[in-house]
Structure 1
Amino acid sequence: MDFKTFYEEYKRRASQQDLDYLKKVTSQALVAREIRHGERVDYSYEESMEGWHQAFEHFKDQDMDWIYTDHSVTMLNENIQLAAFWISIRLNGELLPTSNLFFDTFEKQGDEWLLVRSYIESGVQNPPI
């Protein structure tokens, strides 16, 4: 599968809160960092999956839409792509005042694309939507 097709599927399935899919397309060797309120939080695959699980459970009975705003996709080499994008959230019809800005690195391993690194700036100004 080419990266563009994978990336569109990745965004669609993540926004549908498909944890099984995220487990499948995230590397067990994930290296991740998030900056929350100026504090650095480093985490691994297990912590990432637990965080997604908790978030999905918290919002499961609410009307929530993820709004992706793509910034760029950069080919680092033929098997590695860096995607930069915002995720804004509309919750019960109201746009939350801030977004999260992601820099996710995907690597093609065999025939599969996997998320191998992630850097997130949480609580940033919403992009123009």
Structure 2
Amino acid sequence: MDSTFHPFLNKYLAIWGKSSLQELKELISEDYRAREISGKEIIDFGFNESIEGWEQGFRFVVENGAEWELNKLSIIQLNKREVLAIIFAALVINGERLDNGNLFFQTFRREINNDWKLVRSYIEAGALTDFVLNEWEENIF
């Protein structure tokens, strides 16, 4: 795996963790495409809708004094230029982790200038936090 990816992913998660929209925006490709599943609803969206969604999420975090709990579940090299990171994100409010979170399958691409950008996401919204985290730990082999 490219030696620059892990430091990039740590930076990406730190930016996410501090709810910095401006910094996060710089790490998302303008060609970004995503699909989110929430219950039975399927939503496909691109860069602009993504930024709107992050803005709403970050505003909620700030207004509610919440914190992000971000769990790197797996990292898989897809090809020479792309890496898939599986991340589970839950919110913690008043010291209590919420029962539901979102499972992100995020594909990052190393661009021609060697910068990494988020290019694709598949998101399972509303996954049960304890189930996802416990299942993941039990099935690692």
TM over 0.5: yes
Separation (CA, whole Å) in 2 of partners of 1:57 and 1:69? 21
Please report the TM-score for the alignment, with normalisation by the length of structure 2.
0.86
Matches within 5 A, 1:17-28: 17-28=19-30
Match of 2:15 in 1: 13
Offset of residue 89 of structure 1: 1.0
What's the % identity of the aligned pairs? Answer: 35
Q: CA RMSD in A?
A: 1.5
Matches within 5 A, 1:22-61: 22-61=24-63
Q: 2:93 aligns with which of 91, 94, 111?
A: 91
Please report the TM-score for the alignment, with normalisation by the length of structure 1.
0.93
Separation (CA, whole Å) in 1 of partners of 2:28 and 2:108? 9
Q: 1:118 aligns with which of 100, 121, 129?
A: 121
Per the alignment, in what secondary structure is the counterpart of residue 77 of structure 1? Answer: coil
Runs of 4+ deviating beyond 4 Å: none
Query: CA separation of 1:55/1:96 partners in 2, compared to 1, >3 Å: closer, same or farther?
Result: same
Tell which has more relative contact order, 1 or 2 (C-alpha 8 A, sep 6+): 1
- Structure 1: give runs of 5+ residues left out of the alignment: none
Equivalent AA in structure 2 for residue 104 of structure 1: Q
Given that 1:63 and 1:93 are in contact with CA atoms closer than 8 Å, whether structure 2 keeps it comes out as no
Separation (CA, whole Å) in 1 of partners of 2:124 and 2:43? 11
Separation (CA, whole Å) in 2 of partners of 1:2 and 1:59? 29
- Structure 2: give runs of 5+ residues left out of the alignment: none
Separation (CA, whole Å) in 2 of partners of 1:59 and 1:76? 32
